[in-house]
């Protein structure tokens, strides 16, 4: 069983447009509304591939009730925790060439009591799972006024109960979580650069930066690099992988699908990395934040056998690179 925790879930409205023209009236080609939040997306991807998962979801207000209805309609196994503030709404503008413009609301604060109740719900869900919980995924941005060390505190609490913890966040929340020795962190390129202060232009830079996160406490690092694939650095070795993507539609949630695939593949080693890349590549071909199932992966011609995984070439240039500034934006 894989548990997920999303402290700042959302309703995600994706609008497909021909082109973004500031100040103009733009007519949408299509629109869809999906439940959102990084942990929520991980559970949705696992559900789509018949992998046991349970999502812990705080919710509030009309938006929160709608979020819960959407998740229930998908058949998601979840534990809902009522909170005082309303759930946020996000808007994504998707252009035909794959360009994504996101507008994310900040969300509303969670009290110390609400945070304790949410943590208790995770541990209760872990104990109620028929085969126990192997992993807890703690991911996404933090709501306003929530302390930056909350993931670190949750990591220590969950690890103390014998559960592996994967953290997917950014900025101060990621920096703080490293000291709690999470079993896995999954930064993207900008988050990796922001956490280390390094400019990242080559695969060798990715490996070096991942090593710094491990030196700070993370036991394994899965660095997602967008179109450049992903790098996995752990005790057993270092691997680089990539997967072909044709006809990209939306990258929203692709990193979450990647993390779900990695954990579904066992949570370590090159086979898990191959599955992660297959799931992430299939997600990019789907509209909005829809998560891929086996049919989507097969229809895209992408499966674990088609993914290239091997030792990274340190000199290989990335198609996109980071400037090495300390970034403070939050995931999700």
Q: Which residues are catalytic?
A: 256
**Contact present, 276 and 258 (Cβ < 8 Å):** yes
Closest CA to 262 of 280, 244, 248, 287: 280
Burial 86-102 (b: 16+ CB within 10 A, else e): bbbbbebbbbeeeeeee
- Number of H helices and E strands in the chain, helices first, is 10, 14
Q: Could you give the count of Cα atoms lying within 13 Å of 146 in the half-sphere of its Cβ?
A: 27
d(CA 197, CA 192): 8
Tokens of 331: 């995931």
CB atoms under 10 Å from CB of 201, counted, come to: 17
Conformational region of residue 61, where left means phi above 0, alpha means psi within -120 to 50, and beta covers everything else: left
* 303 Cβ contact list (under 8 Å, min separation 6): 278, 297
- State the Rg of the chain over Cα: 18
Q: What are phi and psi of 184, to 5 degrees?
A: -155, 140
């Amino acid at each position: 069983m894989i548990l997920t925790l999303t402290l700042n879930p959302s309703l995600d409205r994706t609008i497909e447009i021909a082109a973004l023209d500031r100040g103009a009236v733009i007519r949408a080609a299509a629109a869809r509304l999906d439940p959102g939040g990084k942990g929520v997306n991980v559970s949705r991807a696992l559900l789509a591939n018949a992998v046991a998962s349970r999502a812990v979801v705080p919710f509030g207000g009309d938006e929160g009730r709608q979020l819960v209805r959407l998740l229930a309609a998908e058949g998601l196994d979840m534990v809902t925790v009522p909170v005082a503030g309303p759930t946020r709404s996000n808007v994504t503008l998707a252009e035909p060439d794959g360009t994504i413009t996101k507008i994310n609301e900040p969300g509303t604060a969670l009290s110390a009591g609400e945070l304790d109740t949410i943590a208790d719900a995770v541990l209760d869900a872990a104990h109620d799972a028929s085969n126990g919980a192997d992993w807890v995924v703690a991911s996404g941005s933090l709501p306003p006024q929530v302390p930056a060390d909350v993931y670190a505190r949750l990591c220590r609490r969950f690890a103390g109960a014998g559960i592996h913890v994967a953290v997917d966040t950014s900025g101060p929340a990621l920096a703080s979580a490293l000291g709690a020795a999470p079993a896995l962190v999954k930064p993207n390129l900008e988050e990796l650069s922001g956490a280390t202060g390094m400019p990242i232009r080559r695969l060798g830079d990715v490996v070096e930066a991942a090593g710094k996160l491990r030196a700070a406490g993370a036991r394994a690092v899965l660095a997602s690099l967008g179109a450049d694939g992903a790098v996995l650095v752990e005790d057993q070795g270092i691997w680089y992988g990539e997967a072909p993507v044709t006809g990209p539609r939306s990258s929203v949630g692709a990193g979450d699908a990647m993390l779900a695939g990695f954990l579904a593949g066992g949570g370590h080693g090159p086979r898990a990395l191959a599955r992660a890349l297959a799931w992430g590549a299939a997600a990019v071909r789907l509209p909005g934040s829809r998560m891929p199932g086996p049919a989507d992966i097969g229809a895209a011609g992408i499966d674990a056998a088609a993914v290239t995984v091997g030792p990274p070439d340190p000199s290989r240039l990335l198609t996109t690179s980071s400037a090495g500034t300390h970034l403070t934006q939050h995931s999700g």
